[in-house]
Amino acid sequence: MAIFANESQNITIGNNKTINSRNSGIMAWGDNGLTIHGNDIYQACTSDKGPQECISVSHSNDFIIIGNTVHDGFMEGIDVKNGAFTGLVSGNTVYNMIRLGIYIDAWAEHAYSIVVSENIVYNCLEDIRVNSENGGLIEDIKVRSNLVYNNTGCGIWVNAGGVKTADHPVNNVLIGGNFCRNNGEDGIRISTPENGKTNITLENNIVTDSGRSGIIVSDFTDGTATMGSLPIVNNTLYNNGLKDNWGCGDIFMNAGIATNVLIRNNIASKNHLFSIVVISDVAAGELTVDYNLIDDFKDYNEEITGDYWIKGNPLFIDAEAENFQIEAASPVIDAGSTMKAPLMDFSGVPRPQGSGIDVGSFEFSD
């Protein structure tokens, strides 16, 4: 590795450039009060013998990873793992990675209180993933206000697995205010290979041009896992499902194990096969779908509208230019429900601005 901080206190690693390191460009293990900022990590992890990640932080707390550029590497770009807690990963640019851009993973320990915000991640296999790969508990994670695009697989993925013999608990994860566009598979994916996932909130996200689903909730087990408390509220989805095959649309609820699921105040526009699909084995009374705008209902397989739905064009200002704010004549204005609606919109505008909550990621204001 190029730079290694081990069991340090209040150390700063800043404004360095590492090139072609066999393992990590920067590795930190067991550090307290760590700052990693302004570094350029290029072509890290070239070794084929158990390489670590380009920036790798483990067993550390009170850390800040900010303003770094990580690119053209051969493992994950930024990995926070193994019992790390109370940290910020913000303002970094990660691109051209053969694996993940940013990875937050408990592995076999307890990782918690980590914010991943305002990063730009693109041209990776996947962009951002939150995981409990070997049975540790990961909780109180916020993934917000990131721009993720042009990756091969999924834009943002809350997973819970890797080693099949362990339970993989995940609790209290917020996916909010992110812009996910042009991802090869799903824009945002919530999946459960093994037991234990609760309190996952998706709000104020914009998801466009996904190859498969804009948002998918999926069960990869034989139905023995658990997943509970899943609000999907005030998101904007546009032109998803580009591959035009099974699972290609805006919101795909494909997890019969899920309980206490809410799909509310979302815009689903110009999908390719469906707007909202819910598989038939979702338990009665565990799913609420209401106050969503559906632009072009196709009645595809198990596609539904839900209650109090709005039919029609949301009247984006300029979707082709990626401006998904709404015009003054939009039918979504004041048409949503206040229950579980986020207090601010994608841009930080307080809700409501009129007599009610607007549907979608933006609140209209004069």
In sequence order, what DSSP letters do the residues of 130-195 get, joined into one string?
A: EE-TTS-EEEEEEEES-EEES-SS-SEEE---SSTTS---EEEEEEES-EEES-SS-SEEEEESSS
With b meaning 16 or more CB within 10 Å and e meaning fewer, what string describes 73-84? bbbbbbbbbbbb
Q: Which of 171-175, 193-197, 287-291 has the lowest mean pLDDT?
A: 193-197
pLDDT at 50 over 70: no
Give ranges for CATH 2.160.20.10 in the chain.
99-112+125-309
How many C-alpha atoms does 307 have within 13 Å on its Cβ side? 6
Q: Which of 55-64, 159-168, 184-193, 209-218 has the lowest mean pLDDT?
A: 159-168
If one compares 225 and 261, the residue with the highest pLDDT of the two is 261
CATH number for the region 99-112+125-309 comes to 2.160.20.10
pLDDT of residue 162: 64
φ/ψ of residue 261, rounded to 5: -100, 135
pLDDT at 52 over 70: yes
The residue-averaged pLDDT of 228-248 equals 92
pLDDT band at residue 196 under the 50/70/90 scheme: low
Is 89 in contact with 81 (CB distance < 8 Å)? no
If one compares 252 and 166, the residue with the highest pLDDT of the two is 252
pLDDT band at residue 285 under the 50/70/90 scheme: confident
pLDDT band at residue 2 under the 50/70/90 scheme: very high
pLDDT in tens, 322-356: 999 999 999 999 999 999 999 999 999 999 999 99
The residue-averaged pLDDT of 119-124 equals 98
pLDDT of residue 308: 97
- Report the alpha-carbon distance of residue 46 to residue 75 in Å, rounded: 9
pLDDT of residue 246: 81
Percent over 90 (pLDDT), the chain: 78
Cα torsion through 332, 268, 236, 176, rounded to 10: 120
- Report the alpha-carbon distance of residue 272 to residue 293 in Å, rounded: 16
What is the residue whose two structure tokens read 């009610």?
356
Give the helix/strand (H/E) hosting 24: none
The residue-averaged pLDDT of 258-266 equals 92
pLDDT of residue 176: 98
Q: Work out the mean pLDDT of the chain and round it to a whole number.
A: 92
Which residue type is seen at 160? A
pLDDT band at residue 319 under the 50/70/90 scheme: very high
Q: How far is CA 338 from CA 228, 290, 356, in A?
A: 21, 12, 7
pLDDT of residue 307: 97
pLDDT in tens, 12-31: 999 999 999 999 999 999 99
pLDDT at 160 over 80: no
pLDDT of residue 164: 59
pLDDT at 282 over 60: yes
Rounded to two decimals, the pTM is 0.96
Percent over 70 (pLDDT), the chain: 95
321 DSSP assignment: G
pLDDT of residue 195: 59
